[in-house]
Chains A and B, each alone.
Chain A
């Protein structure tokens, strides 16, 4: 037997802050309930977002590593002074000592004509051909290593200052390829920024469209909630949290993919570097870029949700039944 309805005072509405906090707690719980109800769909959307975000993140890792490698090369810049044939070994060695006294010079190494020939014979593979020559064709060389913190302009000035000496036939600073590499890296960096912008828009559209379909699927529920007094914010919250969750999951997935890629390439890259006498180790995303990927996913998810939810929920109007009835 049903209990007799009793007249009671209407429930006292809770305080605004408590109501707000409960609203968010309920929205999070509802979001997680919907994720649990359709885990595959959620994972697929997050996977699409993750793969999309992984592209600029992987390009960033590539450029970062190329930049670090080229910086290491930058520190090894040397200037070669090719000496006149008439300069004796003693004069050459004395000149090397003079150049080393320059405050902007870190070190000098004098390579005599004989030493240059011996080195060439040992490493070039043309030993037999050299035997056919009447005389040593190689000049003596002073290899100058500038101080580490010198700019490209300062190194050029050092080279020009000492190239004017009568003992020097000509001097050479072979850094052009490095400058070209840096220019290429700057270009790629700019391209990554543009790609990231395009991908950001794509992620917003992906998440927005997912939420639009979800709103359509739950149209009846939204109508009922509007009819019984749910505010726009109350209805929007679970959808906004879904967008945030998808973005965050995508960010985590992108980070995992890129770090896995780096891990997979670390061994081969280390071996490759060792062939050039380097102990360079491949760098991953780092803290700053990792936070960037996660925050990027989070922000794009939020933006996609905000872009869609307000617009589409406003179009869901409650009704008792058909007009005129």
Chain B
């Protein structure tokens, strides 16, 4: 069995002046595993991802990534930590004043790679999402699905330990969303760990073999797979 990559140990989190978004939540994502996180809007899916990305710090309990307690990271080490994560967003979060190539190259530039190395890796990442021929195009000229694939390429270009995707298909039609999910499966088969937050349970139902964590009222529970999710109801 692979060692745990992400561990939540009885994590409780509450925003100032609000209710508990997560209550006593425990979770374990293994190295090389892809899993889904489901729940209604406002159930706490994004909060859980924020705790992993160290955008929030849990009020109680411990979040460990690759054995490191992320709450114990000094603020100056947080950027280095985030460089080992690949983040994918519902709103794509692309920079619209620069080309597709420059968007995907940004994480590598942040890490200080040489131009020739950046060019090679960006081309490989764009090739993997089928957008190599759009490298020079500005993102505004791309469809929603293509923009999300640029976001995926940007997330994988640094070969991160873990990819966190927050509602990656939320702004896409069903077929395009399936295409993005297929992309995630292919990355996972290549050894990449992924945790995907989505409320699109009908998409998960079409994908077999992955664990599904469900959030409801701040409580986290585990469904064994997408198929099980469908048959279990």
Residue of A nearest to B182 (CB): A2
Tell me which residues across on chain B come within 8 A of A224, comparing CB atoms. 93-95, 106
A295 and B1 CA atoms in complex are apart in Å by 64
Q: Cβ of A18 < 8 Å from any Cβ of B?
A: yes
Tell me which residues across on chain A come within 8 A of B154, comparing CB atoms. 228
Q: Is the CB of B130 within 8 A of A14?
A: no
Q: Cβ of A320 < 8 Å from any Cβ of B?
A: yes
A142 and B183 CA atoms in complex are apart in Å by 107
Q: Cβ of B53 < 8 Å from any Cβ of A?
A: yes
Q: Cβ of B7 < 8 Å from any Cβ of A?
A: no
Tell me which residues across on chain A come within 8 A of B181, comparing CB atoms. none
Q: Cβ of B109 < 8 Å from any Cβ of A?
A: yes
Q: Is the CB of B186 within 8 A of A229?
A: no
Q: Cβ of A6 < 8 Å from any Cβ of B?
A: yes
A225's contact among B41, B45, B106, B192, by CB below 8 Å, is which? B106
For chain B, residues 148 to 207, give those with C-beta under 8 angstroms from any C-beta of chain A. Answer: 154, 156, 158-161, 166-167, 183, 186-187, 189-192
Min distance, Cβ A59 to any Cβ of chain B, angstroms = 42
**18 A-B interface contacts by CB (under 8 A):** A2-B130, A3-B127, A5-B186, A9-B159, A10-B84, A221-B97, A224-B94, A228-B154, A229-B80, A229-B84, A229-B107, A229-B111, A230-B79, A230-B110, A234-B110, A319-B55, A325-B41, A325-B46
Q: A5-B186, A11-B108, A320-B53 are in contact. Are A228 and B47 (CB under 8 A)?
A: no
Q: Is the CB of A18 within 8 A of B112?
A: yes
Q: Cβ of B90 < 8 Å from any Cβ of A?
A: yes
For chain A, residues 114 to 149, give those with C-beta under 8 angstroms from any C-beta of chain B. Answer: none
Tell me which residues across on chain A come within 8 A of B127, comparing CB atoms. 2-3
Tell me which residues across on chain A come within 8 A of B183, comparing CB atoms. 2, 5
Q: Is the CB of B21 within 8 A of A324?
A: yes
Q: Cβ of B229 < 8 Å from any Cβ of A?
A: no
A3 and B171 CA atoms in complex are apart in Å by 25
For chain B, residues 76 to 122, give those with C-beta under 8 angstroms from any C-beta of chain A. Answer: 76, 79-85, 87, 89-91, 93-95, 97, 106-114, 117, 121
A228 and B156 CA atoms in complex are apart in Å by 11
For chain A, residues 222 to 271, give those with C-beta under 8 angstroms from any C-beta of chain B. Answer: 223-232, 234
Write the residues of chain B forming the contact surface with A, with a CB cutoff of 8 angstroms.
15, 18, 21, 41-47, 49-50, 53, 55, 76, 79-85, 87, 89-91, 93-95, 97, 106-114, 117, 121, 124, 127-130, 154, 156, 158-161, 166-167, 183, 186-187, 189-192
Residue of A nearest to B189 (CB): A5
Q: Cβ of A98 < 8 Å from any Cβ of B?
A: no
Tell me which residues across on chain A come within 8 A of B43, comparing CB atoms. 325
Q: Is the CB of B158 within 8 A of A11?
A: yes
Q: Is the CB of A321 within 8 A of B90?
A: yes
Q: Is the CB of A1 within 8 A of B111?
A: no
A228's contact among B46, B55, B82, B113, by CB below 8 Å, is which? B82
A229 and B112 CA atoms in complex are apart in Å by 12
A314 and B50 CA atoms in complex are apart in Å by 18
Q: Cβ of A71 < 8 Å from any Cβ of B?
A: no
B191's contact among A7, A225, A227, A321, by CB below 8 Å, is which? A7
Main secondary structure of the interface of A (DSSP, over half): loop
Q: Is the CB of B87 within 8 A of A227?
A: yes
Q: Is the CB of B47 within 8 A of A227?
A: no
Q: Cβ of A13 < 8 Å from any Cβ of B?
A: yes
Binding stretch for chain B, among A19-27, A168-176, A181-189, A276-284: A19-27
Q: A227-B93, A228-B82, A324-B47 are in contact. Are A23 and B112 (CB under 8 A)?
A: yes
A14's contact among B45, B113, B159, by CB below 8 Å, is which? B113
Count chain B CB atoms within 10 A of each CB in A5, A8, A11, A220 and give the residue with the most: A5
Min distance, Cβ B146 to any Cβ of chain A, angstroms = 12
Tell me which residues across on chain B come within 8 A of A37, comparing CB atoms. 97
Q: Cβ of A39 < 8 Å from any Cβ of B?
A: no
Q: Cβ of A323 < 8 Å from any Cβ of B?
A: yes
Tell me which residues across on chain A come within 8 A of B87, comparing CB atoms. 227-228, 320
Known: A227-B55, A228-B87. 8 other contacts (CB 8 A): A2-B128, A6-B190, A18-B112, A19-B112, A224-B106, A228-B106, A229-B85, A323-B47
Tell me which residues across on chain B come within 8 A of A22, comparing CB atoms. 109, 112-114
Residue of B nearest to A22 (CB): B112
Residue of B nearest to A317 (CB): B55
Q: Is the CB of A19 within 8 A of B111?
A: yes
Q: A11-B121, A221-B95, A228-B87 are in contact. Are A4 and B159 (CB under 8 A)?
A: no
A224 and B91 CA atoms in complex are apart in Å by 11
A26 and B115 CA atoms in complex are apart in Å by 10
Q: Is the CB of A4 within 8 A of B113?
A: no
Tell me which residues across on chain A come within 8 A of B47, comparing CB atoms. 323-325
A13 and B83 CA atoms in complex are apart in Å by 11
For chain A, residues 194 to 244, give those with C-beta under 8 angstroms from any C-beta of chain B. Answer: 220-221, 223-232, 234
